[in-house]
Amino acid sequence: MTTQNQLDPYASPRTFYGSELRRHREAGGYSQDQLGERIFCSGTYIGQFESAKRLPQPDVSRPLDEVFDTGEHFQRLCHLARKSKHAEYFADAAELEQQARTISEYAPTLVPGLLQTERYARALIEAAQQFEAQEVVEGFVRARRERQGILDSATAPQLWVVLYEAVLRSRVGDRTVMEEQLVSLARAARTSRRLLVQVLPFEAGAAAFLNGMTIHMTFDEALPAVYAESAYTGQLIEEPALVARYQRAYDLRRAASLPPEASLQLIESVAKDYATR
């Protein structure tokens, strides 16, 4: 793992941000904890920015410019570092996915992005971006497929997905797209030892999060985080008490779901329905 002393400030906008933060902090005579106190965050958080483990944040960059009297220097660097292939509201979560040890996702309406086939993703994005040029659509599709690369890496996270039954029965694209997607999903769950899929059936009744997707992430060297999303917006939640409440609610949905084998049998059965209609 790259240490702060080995960090190449010119490797990326994010590493340059980190090196500039460290340079100004040391020139000002602050420890990481002392600087954190000045801008109302932890010294650990400052260290994560300096080591480029965390994406720069606008609400941190503004007070840094005030403390160091640097105009809008850190705000401009932040804007540059946060340029992403993903939607702005999802950029932080996409970044954290790459560092996660475990990812637990509840999907109430759609197959999670990490498990979408290319045709399913394209059909979904075309429906959501009807007024955008095709090259924009294809850019989003590529970004989604590239994001899935974390599942093939040597440090792939453990992925546990709970799908509401509506995900299986709400058609995205035509029947062949849905059949391919569900077959791919079941095959991945049966062959990967790092993926577990459950289905929350309609019969489970009222359940939390039915109106929005959530991604729960744990890390080796950081506190857990939750990403909650609804249409065209999302929020990264890191406050421990709130993260714990989300986790308890997720655990209840997981407990109410079908066992893994019964879930896969249902997914495969619905896939056959799409193939034979």
Domains located in the chain, CATH noted: 4-81 (1.10.260.40), 88-276 (3.30.870)
How many degrees, rounded to 5, is the angle at CA 176 between CA 175 and CA 180? 120
Report pLDDT digits (tens) over 54-85: 878 889 999 999 999 999 999 999 888 777 66
Determine whether 116 is exposed, middle or buried from the number of CB atoms within 10 Å of its CB (0-12, 13-18, 19+): buried
pLDDT the model gives residue 222: 82
Distances (CA, A) of 42 to 24, 31, 45, 60, 112: 17, 11, 5, 11, 32
- Residue 201 confidence (pLDDT) above 90: yes
Do 217 and 100 meet the contact criterion of CB atoms below 8 Å apart? Answer: yes
Q: Would you state the torsion angle of the CA atoms of residues 100, 104, 110, 114, taken in this order, to the nearest 10 degrees?
A: 30
Do 51 and 7 meet the contact criterion of CB atoms below 8 Å apart? Answer: yes
- Residue 216 confidence (pLDDT) above 50: yes
Distance separating alpha carbons of residues 113 and 271, to the nearest angstrom: 19
For tokens 């606008």, the residue is 58
Please, where are the H alpha helices in the chain? 13-27, 32-38, 43-50, 58-68, 73-81, 91-97, 118-128, 134-147, 166-169, 175-191, 240-256, 260-276
Amino acid identity for residue 146 in this structure: E
Report pLDDT digits (tens) over 99-146: 899 999 999 999 999 999 999 999 999 998 888 888 888 988 998 999
Evaluate if pTM is beyond 0.85: no
Q: What is the DSSP letter of 29?
A: T
How do strand 158-164 and strand 195-200 relate by DSSP bridges?
parallel
